[in-house]
């Protein structure tokens, strides 16, 4: 596999910092560009981040002295310097949409952690183990943009990456209704307890925009490619509540589901445990060896114990059981800034490289 030169847009923020750590020592990707706002441009990365470094590991030495570029003003130079970029900028949605489109039109592929293009119908929103076939729309997107190499691919919202994987192997039984309550870590808001002391010993029962994303995005993930666009699935119906909890990392979901023809509990557990996706088949560098781990104990999975499973890229599931109102209920968990953000975007890039789209 060739070594790809990559850039990180929004490198100074929390997800950008996570990209920096995930890409450190990556066997395929070499970080050569770090970009952020005009306020950070011209400074070394360590100067630009300063005391805001929020990762649990030291800043990689290989990036500390890289001079930060301006993600907007230096766009042409950045696009010429890299094979593709990861995007985690903190801007208004229309500004992000314009920025990512501009990079793609410069023939620079964009692996986005942002929501701006999730509902652009020829932009694949990928959970690599679940819908790798959606990458086929890239060629149609390129035709629309008038480019030969550039395109945009996005990852889904972090909230759905705990429960959608667990439901996916069960779709053959006709999942028709899902209720999910997510319990989401403060890093999902780009915060730590030091920067958000109000969250200590507190729960906030609302996260702006999160419930709509949690209800709608699974339908695009489970949609079909038709006539060059992704047509979302019409079912199941979703109802979600998203709650901010005093946890550093890890999004947990309590899920209830109905089926056209409900399988038995043992069969559901077996299907979840044995499920493998395209990243596992290809042996991609960031792919967990086992996508989903099932825990038999009544008190598992636990956020603190399981969020870092397989470098934070595995999904943990437990307590699959019958329910008095629904056919089944279960608990699931994923790491929101690894599987749900930077790690998921890196895995998406690995898939697109392996399949020849980059």
Task: Tell me if residue 158 is catalytic.
Answer: yes
Mean pLDDT for the stretch of residues 103-126: 97
Same domain for 178 and 320: yes
Q: Is residue 310 located within the same domain as residue 185?
A: yes
Residue 81 reports pLDDT greater than 80: yes
In this predicted model, what pLDDT tens digit does every residue of 172-212 receive, in sequence order? 999 999 999 999 999 999 999 999 999 999 999 999 999 99
Read off the tokens for 161: 């990456």
Residue range 17-67, pLDDT digits in tens: 999 999 999 999 999 999 999 999 999 999 999 999 999 999 999 999 999
- pLDDT bucket at 2, cuts 50 / 70 / 90: confident
Say yes or no: 20 and 32 in one domain: yes
251 noted as active-site residue = yes
Same domain? For 152 and 227 the reply is: no
87, 158, 240, 353: which one is catalytic?
A: 158
Provide, rounded to the nearest whole percent, the portion of the chain with pLDDT above 90: 99
Cα distances from 53 to residues 38, 64, 114, 192, 297, in angstroms, run 19, 11, 21, 10, 36
pLDDT tens, residue by residue, 290-325: 999 999 999 999 999 999 999 999 999 999 999 999
Q: Does 151 share its domain with 232?
A: no
Reported in sequence order, the residue ranges of the chain that DSSP labels E, i.e. its strands, are 4-9, 29-36, 69-70, 84-87, 110-112, 125-126, 152-155, 175-184, 224-226, 229-231, 237-244, 251-259, 292-295, 315-321, 328-334
The answer to whether residues 166 and 330 touch, using CB atoms and an 8 Å cutoff, is yes
Structural domain harbouring 103: 4-157+342-354
141 and 17: one domain?
A: yes
Q: Do 193 and 96 belong to one domain? A: no
Give the confidence band of 1 by pLDDT, cuts at 50, 70, 90.
Answer: confident
Q: The CATH number of the domain where 112 resides is what?
A: 3.40.50.720
- Residue 122, pLDDT > 80, answer yes
- Please tell me whether residues 47 and 147 are part of one structural domain: yes
For residues 62 and 200, state if they share a domain.
no
- What's the rounded Cα separation, in Å, for the pair 265 and 17? 40
Catalytic residue among 117, 134, 168, 251: 251
Within this chain, do residues 229 and 279 fall inside the same structural domain, yes or no? yes
Task: Assess whether 175 and 322 both reside in one domain.
Answer: yes
Q: Are residues 59 and 197 in the same domain?
A: no
Provide the number of structural domains found in the chain.
2
């Amino acid at each position: 596999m060739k070594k790809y030169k990559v850039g990180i847009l929004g490198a100074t923020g929390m997800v950008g910092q996570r990209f920096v750590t995930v890409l450190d020592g990556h066997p395929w990707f070499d970080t050569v560009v770090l970009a952020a706002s005009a306020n950070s441009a011209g400074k070394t990365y360590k100067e630009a981040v300063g005391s805001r470094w929020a990762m649990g590991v030291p800043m990689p030495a290989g990036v500390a002295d890289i001079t930060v570029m301006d993600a907007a003003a230096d766009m042409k130079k950045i696009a010429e310097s890299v094979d593709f970029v990861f995007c985690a900028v903190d801007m208004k949605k229309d500004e992000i949409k314009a920025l990512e489109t501009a990079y793609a039109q410069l023939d620079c592929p964009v692996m986005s952690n942002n929501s701006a293009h999730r509902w652009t119908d020829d932009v694949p929103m990928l959970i690599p183990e679940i819908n790798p076939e959606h990458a086929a729309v890239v060629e149609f997107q390129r035709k629309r943009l008038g480019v030969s190499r550039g395109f945009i691919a996005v990852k889904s919202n972090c909230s759905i990456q705990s429960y959608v994987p667990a439901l996916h192997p069960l779709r053959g039984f006709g999942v028709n209704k899902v209720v999910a309550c997510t319990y989401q870590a403060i890093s999902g808001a780009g915060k730590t307890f030091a920067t958000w002391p109000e969250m200590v010993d507190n729960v906030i029962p609302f996260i702006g925009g999160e419930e709509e994303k949690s209800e709608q995005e699974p339908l695009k993930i489970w949609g079909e490619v038709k006539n060059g666009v992704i047509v979302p699935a019409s079912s199941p119906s979703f109802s979600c509540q998203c709650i901010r909890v005093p946890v550093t990392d890890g999004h947990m979901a309590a899920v209830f589901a109905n089926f056209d023809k409900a399988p038995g509990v043992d069969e559901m557990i077996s299907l979840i445990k044995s499920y493998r996706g395209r990243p596992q088949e290809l042996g991609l560098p960031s792919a967990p060896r086992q996508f989903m781990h099932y825990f038999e104990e009544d008190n598992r999975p636990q956020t603190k114990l399981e969020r870092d499973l397989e470098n934070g890229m595995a999904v943990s599931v437990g307590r699959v059981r019958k329910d008095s109102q629904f056919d089944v209920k279960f608990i699931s968990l994923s790491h929101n800034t690894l599987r749900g953000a930077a790690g998921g975007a890196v895995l998406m890039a690995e898939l697109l490289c392996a399949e020849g789209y980059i």
